[in-house]
Chain A
Amino acid sequence: MYSKFLIVLSSILLLFSLHLRGELAWAHAYPAVSIPNNGATVKEPPREVRIQFTEGVEIAFSQITVKAANGDVVSQGKLRQLGDDTLAIDLQPLSPGNYTVEWQALSVDTHVTEGVLRFAIGAPGK
């Protein structure tokens, strides 16, 4: 009786694992707030990009790189940690246009995440 029960349970576990396989993602620090906000168009060129994550992050293995539309890196200096969960990087003087913020973070619970945020200066789409 028990062996049949265990076979059925193991089969369910196997099917369950196969179902999850394609959906798994690494966890777990994600940007909760970014300045400039993701997708925003700002009037004044920001002096820095700041990201507040959902969890505490380790600055030693995290990075933020800001790039102009032509791919030039416009961030400068060292990454700064403003709080357990907040990182900031200084920017060169920026001209109107679209910018991407590439970020990678190691959270305090050992997981690595990465992604891209966007913002624009002046009218959107230019």
Chain B
Amino acid sequence: MVSLEAIVSGMGYAVLALLLGTLVAAGFLLPTGEPKELRQTLLRAGAYLVIVFLIIAVVSLLIQGAKLRQGTLPSLDLLSRYLTMTQSGKIWLLREAYGAALAVVIFRFAKNSASVKATRWVFLLALPLVASRSFTSHAVAVKENTMVVVAADAAHLIATGLWGGGLLTLFWILYRGVKKMTLPLSWGAETVRRFSRLALGSVAVLVLTGLYQSWIQVGNLRTLFGTDYGRVLLFKLVIFIAMLGFGALNFLSTGPRLFQAAQGNTTDLSWARKALRRIGAESFLALLVFFVTGLLTVLPPGVHAVHQAAVANDTPIAAAGGQSTAKLNPAEGAKVEIISPKAEQVFKGDKVPLRFKLTRGKRGHHVHAYVDGELMGMFESRQGTLNGIRPGRHVLELRVVAEDHQTELDASDRITFVVK
């Protein structure tokens, strides 16, 4: 099931990337003087790719239903409840509706010989469809700065699509031109030059957003090398570096040599064929990246390795007292200060808003909140809410804890508040 989910997820990424690739080629890469039907062919391909993506999304939905039914085929009732009662279900519905409308729009443009300007609008309309995957990805589950992480993930997806999908489309255009001799060499050289500029911009976005996401989802070198997620990410990085190598080769050598060959008005297509082979190899690597990304979406992020291991280990029942009386470890620079509630502050209802200032030091990761010595929750961000607090005077203690949730540090703050 996990393998199937990863493959279907990878197919989804590949199809969306190809969609962006065909639309960016139709709107931005094709130089003037292209055969008229080429833009229409690319637009039609874009519309079909949207439909393929929608079908893949239906398969993903069935897999999701099967996960909720422990591997058996989901009922219509279960799917209906999933789609209407969960955040990811509602996003699925919106995405299918938007995708269907987008396919109709692209088909209409393809039929009516869309102008370059109209084609560029279609490209812009496709971006939300690609970005929508970020709203059901690991990014949406990050607790701090969620929208920033989702935006970075969306930018990463779009940049991957522009580079990888653009490469595959470029390969197809050059194949058509070189193998079938339907396009002049100068035209092919200009297309490669335009793509190289697009690829440069995409790589810059990929590096920035990739580093940021790795920091969020992996956290440190230990999880990078010690978890499945980290190892798959490293493998993706290896492919990315290989792609960069081919990209540099194409940017510094293939493109200029194609131009030289085109300016010489030669009928010798050996350089064009070489370009085709190089771009083909880079395109293959791009396909690998999509499927490795699909695998990453089904693996637990490295930062959850500690929690995953805790679930796998059957914890024995300990002596009475629990964590609140456990031996504290040296603070090593960690500090916490309660900002809210203030001392003796009075609250109505069972919810108490909490704000605090945390200095993590060497080992600190988050805080545990104890009310009257009983653990009531953990907080990673600088604020949160204590729920279910009974009426009366209470002692709140925040204690800095290491990433494993077990190692409590000698860094705490304490305050008294009242609930009426």
Chain A interface (Cβ within 8 Å of chain B)?
Answer: 2, 5-6, 9, 13, 16, 20-21, 23-33, 35-43, 48, 50, 52, 54-56, 58, 60-61, 82-83, 85-86, 88, 98, 106-113, 115-120, 122-125
Contact = CB atoms under 8 A, between A and B. Distances in A.
Contacts of A27: 298-301, 304, 308
A30 B311 contact: yes
Contact of B374 (A25, A35, A109): A35
Interface stretch (B156-164, B208-216, B312-320): B312-320
10 A-B pairs closest in CB distance:
A30-B307, A27-B300, A39-B315, A55-B141, A60-B85, A82-B387, A40-B322, A2-B281, A109-B141, A115-B311
Contacts of A108: 87-88, 140-141
A2 B278 contact: yes
Contact of A21 (B3, B278, B300, B315): B3
Contact of A41 (B141, B301, B322): B322
A80 to B, nearest CB: 9
A60 B298 CA distance: 21
Interface in B50-107: 64, 67-68, 81-82, 85-88
B375 A6 contact: no
A9 B87 contact: no
Given A35-B376, A82-B387, A106-B68, A40 B288 contact: no
A16 to B, nearest CB: 6
Nearest to B277: A2
B288 A13 contact: yes
A25 B317 contact: no
Contacts of B374: 35
B41 interface: no
Nearest to B5: A26
Given A6-B284, A25-B300, A28-B300, A109 B136 contact: yes
A38 B315 contact: yes
Given A30-B308, A61-B85, 4 more contacts: A6-B281, A27-B308, A30-B307, A30-B310
B235 interface: yes
B232 interface: yes
A61 B315 contact: no
The size class of the interface chain B forms with chain A is: 35 or more
Contacts of A42: 320, 322
Nearest to A112: B67
Q: Give chain B's interface secondary structure class.
A: helix
A110 B64 contact: yes
Contacts of A6: 281, 284
A26 B307 contact: no
24 contacts: A2-B277, A2-B281, A13-B235, A20-B232, A26-B298, A30-B307, A30-B310, A31-B311, A39-B318, A42-B320, A48-B388, A50-B388, A54-B307, A58-B88, A60-B85, A61-B86, A86-B377, A109-B88, A112-B67, A112-B68, A113-B311, A124-B318, A124-B319, A124-B320
A58 B86 contact: yes
Contacts of A5: 281
A24 B47 CA distance: 35
B82 A61 contact: yes
A96 to B, nearest CB: 11
Contacts of A13: 235, 288
B378 interface: yes
B120 interface: no
Interface in B127-155: 136-141, 143
A13 B300 CA distance: 20
A24 B299 contact: yes
A22 to B, nearest CB: 10
Nearest to A117: B315
